[in-house]
């Protein structure tokens, strides 16, 4: 909702009905409830993007009951710009709603030059979070992630840094991302021993990428940790975008590092079969793909990206039909 202040500038007033239709799920054994669909700022929120459009997407998300915004130190491009833009919008529109928001950031990938701007050292994690807080204009984040495992830094050092970050009041909870089941088990044990509130594991998951089913979900359930998934639409393959060929302006046509035309073509038969199942359910393929992920009790939320308010609203409609019959699940498995 928008109103005009005395100067004529647009002021944001959140919808009074923002919590009426969103589904919220408990995050592991914690006290945190996350919206079933959360907004990731990996794309569309950097300095190369339109700030007003980003502002409209964030406003729309909150009006739909999406309280969880997911960032990382190097989201942009350029690095850091998504956090800085988010901080600008937060100050303009969401300052009075801060306690209704659950804000995440991460560190673990390349961020600045030299030996201290990457991976999982105590030096890097603590410095990175200080920078992130400054960019966003926050005193703390609700959850801070180690973004990927570091094969060379002792896990005790990395988890110890997360523990001290909580003790310093710079994060309320901690999380990890992209860890395999074995390293997740070790991380959980270390964090439990220090009474550090470890609540989330963020993992890539979709109908086309099911690695978390091989032990990770069971490990998380054993330790009372929730899972939040990203890339639920397999970079756009699980949408209607490629049903009739590869659009010239699509990611696949540009042969991006994470999606190319060859990958789309090799999966096209599966995509068409899945689209038929979705149509029979009264859903778009993208909506069914999101609902399919949320059927897991360990999954607290699905992270989506959105370049427009219309795209965001369309994906949130996945929540209108979250139930699957045994026949539908079998048909999806056969299609894959």
Q: Which own/partner contact pairs does 13-16 have at CB distance under 8 Å and 24+ positions apart?
A: 14/62, 14/63, 14/97, 15/62, 15/63
**pLDDT by residue (tens digit) across 218-266?**
999 999 999 999 999 998 899 998 887 666 666 655 666 567 677 778 8
Nearest to 305 by CA among 254, 261, 258: 258
CA dihedral for 76, 78, 83, 84, sign (positive or negative) = negative
| Averaged pLDDT for residues 5-24 | 83
What percentage of the chain exceeds 70 in pLDDT?
A: 93
If residue 53 lies in a helix (H) or strand (E), which one and from where to where?
helix 51-63
Write down the pLDDT at residue 223: 98
Mean pLDDT in residue range 186-201: 98
Average pLDDT, the chain: 94
Two structure tokens written together for 287: 């909506």
pLDDT score of 7: 43
> What is the pLDDT at residue 6?
45
pLDDT per residue as tens digits for the range 74-92: 999 999 999 999 999 999 9
Show the CA angle centred on residue 294, arms to residues 239 and 15, nearest 5°.
Answer: 85
Question: Pick from 155, 127, 154: which is nearest to 144 by CA?
Answer: 127
Is the pLDDT at 4 greater than 80? The verdict is no
Phi, psi of 203 (to 5 degrees): -140, 145
Percent of the chain with pLDDT over 90: 88
- Please compute the mean of the pLDDT values over residues 159-178 and round it to a whole number: 98
Q: Is 119 left (phi over 0), alpha (psi -120 to 50) or beta?
A: left
What is the pLDDT confidence band of residue 188, given thresholds at 50, 70 and 90?
very high
> What pLDDT sits at residue 203?
98
Domain parsing of the chain, residue ranges: 21-236+285-323
Beta pairing partners, 226: 200
The pLDDT value given to residue 248: 67
pLDDT-wise least confident of 161-165, 233-237, 326-330: 233-237
Beta bridge partners of 259: 256
Specify the residue for token string 């928008």: 2
Residue 8's pLDDT is 47
pLDDT for the residue 11 = 87
pLDDT at 313: 98
Tell me: the pLDDT tens digits for 125-146? 999 999 999 999 999 999 999 9
* Phi, psi torsion values for 40, nearest 5 degrees: -95, 140
Cβ atoms 163, 172 nearer than 8 A:
no
Greater confidence (24 vs 243) lies with: 24
The model's pTM is 0.94
Inform me whether the pLDDT recorded for 5 exceeds 60.
no
Which CATH code of 2.40.128.110, 3.30.70.270, 3.10.20.30, 3.20.20.100 fits the domain covering 21-236+285-323?
3.20.20.100
């Amino acid at each position: 909702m928008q109103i005009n202040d005395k100067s004529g500038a647009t002021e944001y007033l959140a919808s009074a009905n923002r919590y009426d239709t969103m589904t919220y799920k408990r995050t592991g054994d914690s006290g945190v409830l996350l919206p079933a669909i959360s907004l990731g700022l990996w794309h569309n929120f950097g300095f190369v993007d339109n700030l007003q459009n980003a502002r409209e997407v964030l406003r729309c998300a909150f009006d739909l009951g999406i309280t969880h915004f997911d960032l990382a130190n190097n989201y942009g491009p350029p690095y850091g710009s998504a956090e800085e833009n988010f901080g600008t919008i937060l100050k303009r529109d969401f300052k009075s709603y801060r306690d209704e928001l659950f804000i995440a950031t991460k560190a673990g990938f390349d961020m600045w030059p030299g030996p201290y701007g990457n991976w999982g050292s105590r030096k890097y994690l603590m410095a990175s979070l200080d920078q992130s807080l400054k960019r966003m204009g926050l005193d703390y984040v609700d959850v801070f992630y180690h973004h990927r495992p570091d094969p060379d830094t002792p896990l005790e050092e990395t988890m110890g840094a997360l523990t001290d970050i909580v003790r310093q009041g710079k994060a309320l909870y901690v999380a990890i991302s992209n860890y395999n089941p074995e390293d997740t088990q070790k991380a959980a044990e270390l964090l439990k021993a220090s009474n550090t509130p470890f609540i989330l594991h963020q993992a890539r998951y979709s109908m086309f990428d099911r690695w978390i089913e091989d032990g990770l979900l069971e490990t998380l359930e054993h330790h009372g940790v929730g899972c939040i998934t990203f890339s639920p639409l397999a970079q756009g393959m699980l949408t209607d975008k490629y049903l009739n060929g590869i659009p010239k302006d699509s990611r696949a046509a540009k042969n991006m590092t994470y999606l190319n035309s060859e990958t789309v073509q090799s999966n096209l038969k599966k995509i068409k079969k899945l689209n038929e199942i979705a149509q029979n359910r009264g859903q778009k393929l993208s909506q069914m793909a999101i609902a399919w992920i949320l059927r897991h009790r360990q999954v607290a939320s699905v992270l989506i990206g959105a370049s427009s308010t219309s795209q965001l609203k369309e994906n949130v409609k996945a929540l209108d039909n979250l139930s699957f019959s045994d026949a539908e699940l079998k048909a999806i498995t056969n299609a894959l």
